[in-house]
């Protein structure tokens, strides 16, 4: 059985299969820290599941907005034209909290907050908190992870 553990303090995502580490990735979590409150910009804690896998078959660096491909491919020129855009690239693993009142339903619902594991431009730093609450990964790492996991894989996010 597969499971993912994200450590905010270590800025890592570890993929397990039958309790054995099979992959370790550097990530970037919320710049505002850890927290489950809506509109906080924080990365939610606790147990989640991958609710949806979005972007199968898209080219690497495809731009996604509102969970849909725009047809754009990220480039420095595109970034220069859109300096304030929060780039969601290549694939999305959309997370849903499983703990009612902690990260599910009401003002703490991770899915309603659109919390994803997603790709980011290669120029963005990994290993440091810099996102708006999502878990950012290098595109090549995300493609590898995306192909290895199924929908409903457990994801635990710890401080």
d(CA 148, CA 82): 32
- Token pair of 143 as six digits: 């493609």
pLDDT at residue 42 in the model: 98
What would the mean pLDDT of 71-92 be, rounded to a whole number? Answer: 96
Q: Please, what is the average pLDDT of the chain?
A: 97
pLDDT digits (tens, 9 = 90+) for 97-110: 999 999 999 999 99
Question: How far is the CA of 37 from the CAs of 40, 46, 80, 126, in angstroms?
Answer: 6, 13, 32, 24
What would the mean pLDDT of 39-43 be, rounded to a whole number? Answer: 97
Q: 2-158, what's its fold?
A: L,D-transpeptidase catalytic domain-like (2.40.440)
pLDDT digits (tens, 9 = 90+) for 88-139: 999 999 999 999 999 999 999 999 999 999 999 999 999 999 999 999 999 9
d(CA 67, CA 99): 24
pLDDT at residue 54 in the model: 98
Question: How far is the CA of 132 from the CAs of 4, 48, 118, 120, in angstroms?
Answer: 21, 18, 12, 12
- Which regions of the chain does DSSP assign to beta strands (E)? 2-7, 12-17, 20-26, 46-54, 62-65, 68-73, 89-97, 116-120, 135-138, 154-158
Q: How confident is the model at residue 153 (pLDDT cuts 50, 70, 90)?
A: very high
Q: Buried (b) or exposed (e) across 135-144, using 16+ Cβ within 10 A?
A: bbbbbebbbe
pLDDT at residue 141 in the model: 98
pLDDT at residue 49 in the model: 98
pLDDT at residue 28 in the model: 98
pLDDT at residue 20 in the model: 98
pLDDT at residue 101 in the model: 97
């Amino acid at each position: 059985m597969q499971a993912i553990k994200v450590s905010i303090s270590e800025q890592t995502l570890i993929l397990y299969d039958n309790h054995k580490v099979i992959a370790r990735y550097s990530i970037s979590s919320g710049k505002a820290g850890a927290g489950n409150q809506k509109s906080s910009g924080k990365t939610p804690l606790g147990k989640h599941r991958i609710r949806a896998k979005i972007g199968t078959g898209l080219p690497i660096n495809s731009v996604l907005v509102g969970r849909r491909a725009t047809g754009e491919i990220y480039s420095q020129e595109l970034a220069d034209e859109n300096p304030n855009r929060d780039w969601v690239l290549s694939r999305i693993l959309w997370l849903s909290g499983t703990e009612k009142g902690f990260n599910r339903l009401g003002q703490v619902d991770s899915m309603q907050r659109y919390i994803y594991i997603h790709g980011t431009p290669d120029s963005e730093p990994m290993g440091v908190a810099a996102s708006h609450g999502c878990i950012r990964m290098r595109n090549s790492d995300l493609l590898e992870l995306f192909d290895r996991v199924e929908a409903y894989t457990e994801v635990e996010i710890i401080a």
